Amino acid sequence: MRRLIAIWAVIGVVGAVSAQNRPSPLTPPPILVPEVINVFPHDGQAFTQGLLWHDGKLYESTGKRGFSSLREVDLTTGEVLRLVNVNRPEEELSGDNPLPDYFAEGLVLLNDRLIQLTWTEGEAFVYDLATFERIDTLTYEGEGWGICYDGRYLFMSDSTSYLQVRNPETFELIVSFGVLFVSRNNQTGETRVDLIPAQLLNELECVGDYIYANLWQTDLIAQIDKRNGNVVAFINASGLLTDAEIIAARQRDPGATLNGIAYNPETETFFLTGKMWDKLFEVRFVPARR
């Protein structure tokens, strides 16, 4: 019941629990939980914004102005094998009208290139996968949060209730679609459709017909059917860290929260971590026990 209440609180649907503390007649999507297979070390100073797995290697984008980076990380040790700092040239950071430093966000692999979003600058940096050399800069309107690639299209979150679909060759916006929370009233049989609130959809991972999205500042991940925008399940990852580990992460930075999803197609498992977390988890998503 506590998990169910938490879901409704995040989505903001009125009536999850009545004034008499009776369960709501509305049924939300199923609740899944991560079943932990392995636990690996993770840099507790990394403000994780994007995570991906490719060919046995882990790649990570970290944020915060002045601390943003692109990294290749050893999974088993957490050691940073390669790192590129994502900073503006010094001349742009000083002078009469200095620009703010970059705040890196989501990360995606597109063939032999890595594309890294920035939060408010409207720029995405393109890197050669083999060398980490920055080879191009793409532009877009609005904010950049998370991004993933399904082999045909790029999907991008931007602080709104919508996901953008972009052309992988040109990065041009094709269409946006709303992410919908569909519930059914067990008493009347009526179906209710709510648009997921803004500023929740964060880091993304494309897997088959689904997009997995971290819900910002929560322990939840939404599993979204990319064909219609419906949330088909929520993953409650609140049990990954102990209370002491959560406190320690938030002492390093108050913004410490679950963020970072990568999928390994060979094992059909996911890697999960968070901003300022000192652990990374390999998991499978399984139904929550009632």
What pLDDT, in 10s, does the model give residues 41-74?
999 999 999 999 999 999 999 999 999 999 999 9
Phi and psi of 123, rounded to 5°?
-130, 145
pLDDT at 24: 53
Q: How far apart are CA 249 and CA 238, in angstroms?
A: 14
pLDDT, tens digit, for every residue of 159-168?
999 999 999 9
Average pLDDT, integer, range 140-144: 97
Q: What is the CATH number of the domain that holds 164?
A: 2.40.128.630
Question: Going along 86-245, which residue ranges are E strands?
Answer: 104-110, 113-118, 123-128, 134-139, 147-149, 154-157, 162-166, 173-178, 180-185, 191-195, 201-207, 210-215, 220-225, 231-236
pLDDT, tens digit, for every residue of 67-123?
999 999 999 999 999 999 999 988 888 888 888 999 999 999 999 999 999 999 999
| Cα-to-chain-centroid distance, residue 1 | 25
Mean pLDDT of the chain: 90
The confidence band for 4, taking pLDDT boundaries of 50, 70 and 90, is: very low
Residue located via tokens 């002491």:
244
Strand partners, 92: none
Q: How far apart are CA 155 and CA 122, in angstroms?
A: 16
Q: Which domain holds residue 279?
A: 2-91+99-287
The tokens describing 151, both together, are 């082999």
Sign of CA dihedral 136, 142, 146, 150: negative
Which helix (H) or strand (E) segment holds residue 97: the answer is none
Query: Cβ-count burial of 239 within 10 angstroms (0-12 exposed, 13-18 middle, 19+ buried)?
Result: exposed
State the Cα angle at 120 between 114 and 122, rounded to 5°: 55
Domain count, the chain: 1
pLDDT, tens digit, for every residue of 15-33?
332 233 344 566 778 999 9
pLDDT, tens digit, for every residue of 199-258?
999 999 999 999 999 999 999 999 999 999 999 999 999 999 999 999 999 999 999 999
Q: What are the Cα distances from residue 143, in Å, to 10, 113, 120, 147, 256?
A: 22, 21, 5, 12, 20
